[in-house]
Amino acid sequence: MAKFRSKYVCSECGYESSGWMGKCPSCLKWNTLIEEVFEDAPKLTGILDLTLPQVTPLSEVEVLAVSRIKTGSNELDRVLGGGIVPASLILIGGEPGIGKSTLILQICAQIAQSNRVLYISGEESVGQIKMRADRLNAVRDTIYMASETSYEKIEALILKEKPNFVVIDSIQTIYSENLASAPGSVSQVRDVTARILRISKKNGITVFVVGHVTKEGAIAGPRVLEHMVDTVLYFEGERHLDFRILRAVKNRFGSTNEIGIFEMTSKGLLDVANPSSIMLEGRSTDEPGSVVVGLIEGSRPMLVEVQALVCPTSFGMPRRQATGMDYNRLAMLMAVLEKKVGMQLSSFDAYINVAGGFKLDEPAADLGVVAAIASSFRNKKIDPSTVFFGEVGLTGEVRAVNQMDKRITESLRLGFKRAIVPIMNMKTVPGLKNEIDIIMVSTVEEALSEALS
């Protein structure tokens, strides 16, 4: 008779322990060890198959030309590196209601024009998916639907139907009957994903897997799940806003710096071909504290608005709040303003907001953030036709940024007339000086003197 035992598995890294511990010794996270019940594996009898795999010298390996499959969305193709690589395993994560299933169904409608697609849902019935497909105009004869949660039945169905593409929505609802643990547990997610990977590579099937996220925004389940798949895409954005950002955090076949921007409509997700104009739409030009900064996301230049509000504090400790940027970065920039420019901000609250729900991950936005804070503090508005580029150091210097020509070209396209940039970028913009007023600065004090004059 088989014996059942308990083990504790870390939900973050998959570390296993025979007893519960408050802190995982592998990833050092607290309260992540979850109890799981498993059945002892039967003892192996007989002779093991020790046939060794064939080895090939690297110089003799033939490289096959892989033709990518277009998804019908330029934004998604950009994030994937040019399209879908056949026989790849793609994981898409995001908060509930962000639009993961909508995006997947739109992809299915496009690739089903010349491929056989099997859509397996563990969360919705076939009728519920059909309702969404009718709304998105995504009904195709070559899209086959099934509602199932048992992996053994799903694998048999895949081998029977022989599709080119498979969608599993979502991985946390699928369970293997060979494991005693509950669906969605660390062991189930890890085992099911590994078996899906094997069937994908062995049969040349491209698989899209939808995954839930935790409160911290990471894919639910062990981190090893992300290491198994070929590509990991995160769907970001505020649910009460219309815009969504698709970001690749892992891509074996392309860059992880690219992003795709979509607009959620009643007809589904639409590509946003010109995100800069969308981000700057409705910008206030007559109020202090509003500044436009230039960013580079992958190969795409983008202009976004940074807003600052500085006001006297009502408490002994001033409040600092950053929406869309790192709080520690904000504290550092304010310290530079106090030490190097002489702004006494210790008795003022400071609030920073990046309009449109965008997140500033690039140091090139530092100079714009500093200018927005100074503008609000001194109650002086900045010329709305001015754009800022530059990284700010702790000594108050303005450091060079990369791809300056792309940033300025995007600014020219949107009608900006003046750019305040680091003097170290002087050699990268010689051909653009006749088209836009480029002001070279070496310190934060010089930049603020030009911006607030």
Closest CA to 389 of 277, 323, 291, 273: 291
Domain boundary among 223, 242, 273: 273
Nearest in space to 161 (alpha carbons), one of 120, 132, 209, 192: 120
Would you say residue 44 has pLDDT above 60?
no
Same domain for 251 and 107, yes or no, is yes
Q: Evaluate whether residue 48 is within a structural domain.
A: no
In a shared domain, residues 27 and 97: no
Residues 108 and 22 in one domain: no
- 197 falls within a domain: yes
Last residue of a domain, one of 258, 273, 288: 273
Instruction: Determine, yes or no, domain membership for 170.
Output: yes
Residue 83 lies in a domain: yes
**Is residue 100 situated within a structural domain?**
yes
Looking at the domain assignment, is residue 161 inside a domain?
A: yes
Residue 133 shares a structural domain with residue 15: no
Reported as a pLDDT band with limits 50, 70 and 90, residue 256 is: confident
Q: Are 298 and 247 in contact (CB under 8 A)?
A: no
Percent of the chain with pLDDT over 90: 50
Least confident of 48-62, 119-133, 378-392, 397-411: 48-62
Q: Are 221 and 102 within one domain? A: yes
Same domain as 266, residue 125:
yes
> Whole-model pTM above 0.85?
no
Domain ranges, residue 406: 278-451
Claim to verify: residue 292 and residue 370 sit in the same structural domain: yes
> Which CATH number goes with the domain that contains 446?
3.30.230.10
Burial class (CB in 10 A: 0-12, 13-18, 19+), 203: middle
Three state DSSP letters for 128-191 = HHHHHHHHHCCCCCCEEEEECCEHHHHHHHHHHHCCCEEEEECHHHCECCCCCCCCCCHHHHHH
Residues 13, 76 within the same domain: no
Distance of alpha carbon 129 from alpha carbon 273, whole angstroms? 28
219 within a domain of the structure (yes/no): yes
Mean pLDDT of the chain: 87
Does residue 372 surpass a pLDDT of 90?
yes
Which residue from 164, 151, 155, 156 is spatially nearest to 116, judged by alpha carbons? Answer: 164
75 and 195: one domain? yes
Q: Is the pLDDT of residue 121 over 90?
A: yes
Task: Quote the number of domains for the chain.
Answer: 3
Residues 263 and 148 in one domain: yes
Tell whether the model's pLDDT for residue 361 goes beyond 60: yes
Residues 269 and 290 in one domain: no
Asked whether residue 312 is domain-assigned, the answer is yes
Whether 447 and 302 map to the same domain: the answer is yes
